[in-house]
Amino acid sequence: MHQFFRTHSCSDMRYSFLSKYLVAVFVLITGIVSAQSHEGEEVEAGAHDLKTEIKEYIDHHLLDSHDFSLFSYTTDEGEHKYIGFPLPVILWDNGLKIFSSSQLEHGEGVAEVDGNYYALYHNKIYKTDAEGTIKFGAHHEGDTHSEDAFGENLVVEDAHPSNEKPLDFSITKNVVFIALVGLLMFLMFRSVASNYKKSNMPKGLGRGLEPLVMFVRDEIAIPNIGEHKYKKYMSYLLTVFFFVWIINLLGLTPLGVNVTNNIAVTFALALITYFITTFSGNKNYWKHIFWMPGVPVPMKIILAPIELLGTFIKPFSLMIRLYANITAGHVVLMSIIGLMFIFKNWIGSPLSFVLAFTLSLLELLVAALQAYIFTMLSALYFGMATEEDHH
């Protein structure tokens, strides 16, 4: 019934920098393995399937999903089993359509609501016919493959379905985690706050969290914004610091959720920074953008568009930095973990374990560092927007 899916699942590897990188890594390893192996051809073929599987797994891991599944496996009969629970799907398609993601059967089923049919393709919901057919645009080359020098199958162009895409406001796995982190933060910090009603000294949780709050205040807010104006930005800085940090840390747990590697999430955060910066900009700030003092008039004219563009680039860099750091960390980490399954010998697996372990520690640092950098730079931008004229 869903034959199309099988045929496409082999061909939907993206030709991107990412896959190039991964292919290079895998080829290198395959080379080593086959050099060491006496079985030659057989291992080569086995490793190839495994590579595809690992790559798909990594791709899948980095994506959001419409249901809350912790892991999945395939039974001997070839049936996919998922451990987890479905989440509500909320669509806007000429009216609000709400149904359970269990109807989508992890991309293997078609959901029917009010006479409309929806199916998943690459974790995105498309409007389909009753059979769940995904049509592709004219530019799509179908099953055209090219063979690269290493015998790897690569799709020349990404498959873009031409089906209509309804607006998808589903409670996805990431949304659930954002809400959970929010709830966790709320409970944590409210209990810390309520402790201060009883005594002046922090107790329990507050002992650990108060220094962090003080760090944000004394090391991030005050030096960048200034003694007199930092107070009104504290709420945002603290929230964004703890939110990014906690959610980055959760991304490192075996729960397998990545929130900050979604550009939508980092975009939302950067957008808030942009709006706060723009709305708190004082006369001096705008003067420095549109009519830079202290330079000749032609320079003022040249600088104005550059400075104006700069106001967008600054939060944009925030967005990309957080997104790229977390994504890259996860890709590299999972690739190294994947190596374990490719090297099946006594030297490779411990080596990749050590590498993965070291990298995990590094990622722990990156999780905090990215939260710090995001908060620091936000504070810096607020500081620039509110700086008084010194001339």
Partner 1 sequence: MEQFSLGLFVWQLVLFIGLLLLLKKFAWKPILNAVEKREEGIKGALEAAEAAKKEMQNVTADSEKLLKEARAERDALLKEAREIKENIISEAKEQAQVEGDKMIKQAQATIEAEKKAAVADIKAQVANLSVEIAEKVIKEELSNKDKQLKLVDDMLGDIKLN
Closest alpha carbon to 331 in 108, 119, 22: 22
Residue spans of alpha helices (H) in the chain? 3-11, 17-36, 41-62, 173-198, 205-215, 222-225, 234-251, 263-280, 283-290, 297-342, 348-386
**Angle (nearest 5°) at CA 149 between 145 and 152:** 45
Tell how strand 80-86 and strand 67-74 pair up.
antiparallel
Task: Tell me the CA distances in angstroms from 312 to 268, 297, 374, one per residue in order.
Answer: 14, 24, 15
Please enumerate in sequence order all residues whose Cβ is within 8 A of that of 151, keeping only pairs 6 or more positions apart, or say none.
none
Judged by CB, which is closer to partner 1: 90, or 249?
Answer: 90
φ/ψ of residue 295, rounded to 5? -125, 160
In the complex, least distance from residue 199 CB atom to partner 1, rounded to whole angstroms: 9
Closest alpha carbon to 277 in 390, 121, 384, 147: 384
In the complex, least distance from residue 385 CB atom to partner 1, rounded to whole angstroms: 18
Judged by CB, which is closer to partner 1: 139, or 197?
Answer: 197
Q: Which residues bind partner 1 (CB under 8 A)?
A: 64, 90, 158, 167-172, 174-175, 178-179, 182, 185-186, 189-190, 192-194, 196-197, 200-201, 210, 213-214, 217, 231, 234-236, 238-239, 243, 262-265, 267-269, 271-272
Judged by CB, which is closer to partner 1: 343, or 382?
Answer: 382
Judged by CB, which is closer to partner 1: 122, or 287?
Answer: 122
In the complex, least distance from residue 193 CB atom to partner 1, rounded to whole angstroms: 4
In the complex, least distance from residue 364 CB atom to partner 1, rounded to whole angstroms: 23
Judged by CB, which is closer to partner 1: 169, or 353?
Answer: 169
Rounded Cα–Cα distance for residues 163 and 385 (Å): 45
Judged by CB, which is closer to partner 1: 43, or 271?
Answer: 271
Please enumerate in sequence order all residues whose Cβ is within 8 A of that of 310, keeping only pairs 6 or more positions apart, or say none.
289
In the complex, least distance from residue 150 CB atom to partner 1, rounded to whole angstroms: 26
In the complex, least distance from residue 309 CB atom to partner 1, rounded to whole angstroms: 20
Judged by CB, which is closer to partner 1: 168, or 219?
Answer: 168
Residue 128, classed as helix, strand or coil, is strand
Rounded Cα–Cα distance for residues 334 and 136 (Å): 31
Judged by CB, which is closer to partner 1: 47, or 67?
Answer: 67
Name the CA radius of gyration of the chain, rounded: 25
In the complex, least distance from residue 167 CB atom to partner 1, rounded to whole angstroms: 7
In the complex, least distance from residue 217 CB atom to partner 1, rounded to whole angstroms: 7
Query: Are 277 and 315 spatial neighbours (Cβ–Cβ below 8 Å)?
Result: yes
